[in-house]
Amino acid sequence: MIKSASLVARVKPAIRGRRLHSLQIPFGALTAVFVDTISRTSTTTRPPAFGYNAAVELSGAAHLSTGLKGKRRLLNCDSYLKSVSSAPVVTTVEVGATYPIAVPKQPREAVTQEMKKRPGITAKQREELLNTLRVRFENNMNRHQGIEWTRIEAKLNANPDKLWSLHEMERTGGEPDVVGWNKKTDEFVFYDCSAESPEGRRSICYDREGLESRKEHRPKNNAVDMAAGMGIELLTEGQYRELQQLGQFDTKTSSWVQTPAEVRKLGGAIFCDFRYGRVFVYHNGAQSYYAARAFRGSLRV
């Protein structure tokens, strides 16, 4: 863990004389974004919506903000940063890492609307969701051998935001299920495990830049923003291949996956499917969308 004194010493030169919108600390320690409250009235590019919605987690690392001038909130957004790694890069400062930080441009009004979209779930919805997840868990033990449902349920009860994300995954047809456990972080990993690409997320292009590049016939949404709004990440190509080891998915459909920055800069985006007994990886323009293509997501609890 990076200590506060060290962090302040490395960050102060970067923020002296100008507002700091984002900061990356190496993975394995913490990835975070500092948002100066003053910047909310700034005319410069706004911070990502993720910083203001229900995904805000002060966590045990909040003490890192001690000693920094001004009112700054420590926002844990590791999953969001990785999910938008191919978005247009705006004002950022990187510390000790080369992983690209990409913050999509988004006005404060859109951020406010995003916050209003997360009312939580009712007690009845919670009970129904937990029952659905339990039944699916018990019917597919090959996906999570050696893991007990009681441990997962306890984690979900302690993390209502994660339960809300799972509700959104379920509502849009993802049929989320546990596919692993990270021993180091004590996190359970959920993937969308629907047989075909989630029906409630189809006919969407890859990201907002792709959507806005269309002069006509724009889809209603895009995969990157939709995933961020749900509090989940798009599967990577590697994760997609791991999923296919647990069964056969997307035999009639296809799914967008996280696209490397170098591919996205050239206008492309990557998607995968399963045909002829193997995984195929393809490319399309990021602005394209199809009735048989959605995206699959992951969630750590």
- Of 202 and 75, more confident: 202
Q: What does the alpha-carbon distance between residue 67 and residue 272 come to, in Å, rounded to a whole number? A: 46
Say if strands 268-275 and 254-256 run parallel, antiparallel, or are unpaired: antiparallel
279 or 74, greater pLDDT: 279
Q: What is the pLDDT of residue 144?
A: 95
Q: Which of 40, 50, 49 is nearest to 19 (CA)?
A: 40
pLDDT at 121: 86
Q: Give residue 118's pLDDT band: very low, low, confident or very high (50, 70, 90).
A: low
Pairing of strands 254-256, 293-295: parallel
Q: What angle do CA 173, 174, 176 make, to 5 degrees?
A: 135
Closest C-alpha to 234, from 169, 160, 155: 169
pLDDT at residue number 119: 60
pLDDT > 90: what percent of the chain? 57
Q: Cα-atom radius of gyration of the chain, to the nearest Å?
A: 19
Q: Is pLDDT above 50 for 112?
A: no
Quickly list H helices, 16-141.
78-83, 108-116, 123-139
pLDDT the model gives residue 117: 54
215 pLDDT band, cuts 50/70/90, is confident
Angle at which helix 223-230 crosses helix 160-171, to 10 degrees, equals 140
Q: What pLDDT is recorded for position 111? A: 39
Q: Check residue 120 and give its pLDDT.
A: 78
**Are the C-beta atoms of residues 15 and 42 closer than 8 Å to each other?**
no
pLDDT at 16: 40
Three-class SS of residue 235? coil
Residue 99 predicted with pLDDT over 70: no
**CA angle in degrees (0–180, nearest 5) for 53-213-271:** 75
Cα(4)–Cα(285) distance, rounded to whole angstroms?
43
pLDDT at position 8, please?
A: 36
- 8 Å CB contact between 64 and 32: yes
DSSP state of 29: T
